Structure 1
């Protein structure tokens, strides 16, 4: 049945009809039961369609001019240098398209599940809750890429992304303002957690803690710190497991890329709150860590440096790059460490010294046991700085750094102007620059001339 549902959905998308009920392809079974929509919302593509292009825009990366020469005409090179356009007029924007494809599925499930055949009320509620959480996630991601940092005082005027809440493939929708998109994200996450089971039936379905975890993340980015703290704590009640990096070891010390003993893959991690994955795992293959990121690590004691980065190639020889390479696959899960860091940040914003206790609990699983010491006590505004540095170390290449830079620049906390050089041209990203927003691809604007381009 799952294969049939996927085929039917693909046909629907190609037909361009207003609703899947408008066409019944001969010989194909369209979804009509609650179980069908359950399988649709549990499809492996739903958590795995994130395009990680935002990684290229952030300050965790460095690309040599030689490497950049080969990438400069691609979307990766254009994003790395924050150019006017990321895509040629005939090219698709994978960030935009992938997210809206999943949003379409969510809208279809939400529209049709209430009148679907068979299934209990609890099953219907669970399926619809999953659709709402997934829709909230992808709208958060789109908003984070294409809109300015959220600010309540300007949200009614700031443009975000088109807000499509029905499965209408022909809709010509203009960009909604940030206040409307943010309100919808929060509305989708409101009171859905209890409709989800404590444990999901597969990694592609959502457990209860996923709703709390995503609510914690989005409320942090929208400046709702009390709500973020409350939701992070609810998520941690359901899962507070931490993987101990002290149990890790290389399968071959001389060839770190050969694998790490005892390290779970992201899809099976005990730390997982909400499974998310990226559609472009190789995006960092031309990049090394930035010198600024390297300076944040105690390279002798911090096992996150030891097991996440390397200065050796696959054959065990020293790399030619000036800075270490990323060793692991991208982990885009919302996890226990992020919940702890959200909790610590919210406490630090209240100047509550218990924020350090949260950080120390995490660091005990990340710092070599024989070199571990608690963080020194700090007070006032310095406390938040300590938390944010730990957040950058722990959540490196997890899909949030560029968005962190954006929100913290809006607050006046992140004040760096980034520069990147290619031949005779210097590219810059200043705090609160319009370059913190992705440009809307030309192909999107051509297909819908009501879509307004972001200022550059």
Structure 2
């Protein structure tokens, strides 16, 4: 597809400026047609600004001390040990900056497109719908990173992130309360699905099914389980295709790092509902799977373990590491498996045994055929636990685990206290700790003193 980059958003230091973020548009070409804004919405940058630092905070990974020695002064090492600050005073916060860059673009589109004389009303509505969906995704991401777990009883006082709905880089904004941010996310996703085509022009554009998929995800995290169930079912009506891991084969059985035959790249996966990636998708290369993640896998039968983790080194010999290495890069797609798991969780919360049937449908494509057996029936009080374990296995590095830990800790379901050690210092993450909120970088707070730090 032809790409025209009309406006380039770049990270710069706004010296002496009180802007809420460190991005400014520059470039000489100004869009003046709907097609220009359409192509702006099709920019690959729009799908890849979710900086994955929160992966280092989750219970899915483990880092050896020799690697941690190298990374302890970086944002990776600081996030892994849940430190008070992740960045030095002069360092940019890529989680914050990347998301707000895309939000600026979306705000620009929503501000300018209605006044353009060119293009049909339907075309304008499509481009604006894409902007709303992208904005909703990145506000959900920012809220999940920097705000406490959503609680309707405290949402009117809990601080989330600045809610900026105009393309104004110089606005002296403050952090907005969670109720307002959540309301805007849901508003952006309401009644826009039919403005989008069933099949998008490219993976970087947004198809209709993506609206239902994203709405299912955000409603799950906000505790709106009936809405999450309804949207997941709508998404599955449009796409219910699953990859069969029984068809996967290593290109070289003696070297799992050589890739997997028959496994498509995430952007071409038939399971994809909304394509998302990360600009730093290789963040896991210095990490191993954690013992907490390892314990939920049947390592003999589960093909997700076989094709995503290995105890071999690059030379094909046993690595000697205490836990398996992680093979693939991050896959941040919202996909069919996630919709099935959302549906199963919502049903499990109603004590509906149909949740197990959904899990079995998924597992038949994930467990070795000669070792497969349906999940045993469980009592209603254990059903949710079974679903959540399947969710951890399937979505291990899909960008939601740390956020799951946060929301489930708020419910009293996730009760584990994590500990990590480095050079004699023990770092801990307790349930409902303030460390479940990422710190807002000193540079962001310096540029705009209206923004207050998260409690640590």
Query: Which TM-score band applies after superposition, normalised by the shorter structure?
Result: over 0.9
Count of aligned pairs:
450
- Partner of 2:223: helix, strand, or coil? coil
Query: Where does residue 3 of structure 1 map in the other structure?
Result: 4
Within 1, Cα distance between the matches of 2:29 and 2:338?
A: 42
Query: Where does residue 299 of structure 2 map in the other structure?
Result: 299
Query: Where does residue 218 of structure 1 map in the other structure?
Result: 218
Query: Where does residue 381 of structure 1 map in the other structure?
Result: 381
| Aligned 1:302-341 pairs, distance under 5 A | 302-341=302-341
| Aligned 1:268-307 pairs, distance under 5 A | 268-307=268-307
CA gap of 1:156–1:250, structure 2 versus 1, over 3 A, is: same
Cα displacement (A) at 1:396: 0.5
- Superimposed CA distance per residue, residues 255-289 of structure 1 (whole angstroms, 9 cap, x where no aligned partner): 01101110011010000000000110221111100
Cα displacement (A) at 1:223: 0.1
Within 2, Cα distance between the matches of 1:353 and 1:13?
A: 55
Query: Where does residue 156 of structure 1 map in the other structure?
Result: 156
Cα displacement (A) at 1:314: 2.0
Query: Where does residue 428 of structure 2 map in the other structure?
Result: 428
CA gap of 1:262–1:68, structure 2 versus 1, over 3 A, is: same
Cα displacement (A) at 1:34: 0.3
Cα displacement (A) at 1:319: 1.4
Cα displacement (A) at 1:53: 0.4
Unaligned runs of 5+ in 2: none
Cα displacement (A) at 1:189: 0.5
CA gap of 1:290–1:4, structure 2 versus 1, over 3 A, is: closer
Within 2, Cα distance between the matches of 1:235 and 1:373?
A: 27
- Superimposed CA distance per residue, residues 347-383 of structure 1 (whole angstroms, 9 cap, x where no aligned partner): 0000000000000000000000010000000121200
Query: Where does residue 90 of structure 2 map in the other structure?
Result: 90
Query: Where does residue 170 of structure 1 map in the other structure?
Result: 170
Query: Where does residue 132 of structure 1 map in the other structure?
Result: 132
- Superimposed CA distance per residue, residues 198-253 of structure 1 (whole angstroms, 9 cap, x where no aligned partner): 10010000000000000000000000000000000000000000000000001110
CA contact (8 A) 1:258 1:314 kept: no
Cα displacement (A) at 1:49: 1.1
Within 2, Cα distance between the matches of 1:10 and 1:87?
A: 19
Cα displacement (A) at 1:145: 0.3
Query: Where does residue 106 of structure 2 map in the other structure?
Result: 106
CA gap of 1:444–1:357, structure 2 versus 1, over 3 A, is: same
Cα displacement (A) at 1:168: 0.1
Query: Where does residue 144 of structure 1 map in the other structure?
Result: 144
CA gap of 1:36–1:405, structure 2 versus 1, over 3 A, is: same
Within 2, Cα distance between the matches of 1:81 and 1:112?
A: 44
The CA RMSD measured in Å over matched residues stands at 2.0
- Partner of 1:45: helix, strand, or coil? helix
Cα displacement (A) at 1:25: 9.0
Structure 1 runs (4+) deviating above 4 angstroms are 9-16, 23-26
CA contact (8 A) 2:7 2:29 kept: no
Within 2, Cα distance between the matches of 1:52 and 1:216?
A: 21
Cα displacement (A) at 1:116: 1.7
Query: Where does residue 196 of structure 2 map in the other structure?
Result: 196
CA contact (8 A) 1:24 1:30 kept: no
Query: Where does residue 45 of structure 1 map in the other structure?
Result: 45
> TM-score, length-normalised on structure 1?
0.96
Within 1, Cα distance between the matches of 2:25 and 2:378?
A: 65
Within 2, Cα distance between the matches of 1:329 and 1:383?
A: 31
Cα displacement (A) at 1:62: 0.6
- Superimposed CA distance per residue, residues 133-177 of structure 1 (whole angstroms, 9 cap, x where no aligned partner): 000000000000000000000000100000000000101100000
CA contact (8 A) 2:46 2:102 kept: yes
Within 1, Cα distance between the matches of 2:108 and 2:352?
A: 45
Cα displacement (A) at 1:6: 3.4
Within 1, Cα distance between the matches of 2:192 and 2:369?
A: 40
Unaligned runs of 5+ in 1: none
